[in-house]
Amino acid sequence: MDQQAARTFADRWIALWNSRDLEGVLTLFADHVVFSSPSAARLSHGSDGVVRGKEALRAYWAYALSRNPELHFDLLGAYAGINTLVINYRHQTGVHANEVLIFDGPLIVEGYATHLTS
């Protein structure tokens, strides 16, 4: 992934989240995706913060969106790697976060959400 592709993807990702288009976001992920997040650890009891599969991810994010009607992300940066993209953003509460996304072809197969905790 080059830097232009990283920025284009990150802009799309931000726009989908800001429009609360859960199904649009999910089109970016493989059916067998594995996603981990500190928020999943809090909201998905028994998950240890790891969500496995697109259907489980749909359920987790639908629940999270229902609890967060003010959701809004501002893109701070997009960083390209080899089959990897890091999206650095700030959400509506001012907290900075990153999504580390691992691709197999055009789809995300692994995702790691990280949040600034202080």
What's the CA gap between 69 and 79, in Å, rounded? 28
Here the tokens at position 42 are 């809090």
Place of tokens 């202080």: 118
Here the tokens at position 65 are 């969106």
Three-state secondary structure of 14-43: HHHHHCCCHHHHHCCEEEEEEEECHHHHHH
pLDDT at residue 45 in the model: 64
Helix (H, G, I), strand (E, B) or coil at 68: coil
The class level of CATH for 3-96+111-115 reads alpha beta
> Residues 77-100: what's their mean pLDDT?
95
Q: Which residue has the higher pLDDT, 25 or 117?
A: 25
Per-residue model confidence as pLDDT tens digits over 22-44: 999 999 999 999 999 887 777 66
With CA atoms as reference, report the closest residue to 71 among 17, 10, 1. Answer: 17
CB 93 within 8 A of CB 19: no
pLDDT at residue 35 in the model: 95
The beta strands (E) that lie in the chain are given as 29-36, 50-52, 73-80, 84-91, 96-104, 107-115
* Annotated domain spans of the chain: 3-96+111-115
Mean pLDDT of the chain: 92
The answer on pLDDT for 50 being more than 70 is yes
pTM over 0.85: yes
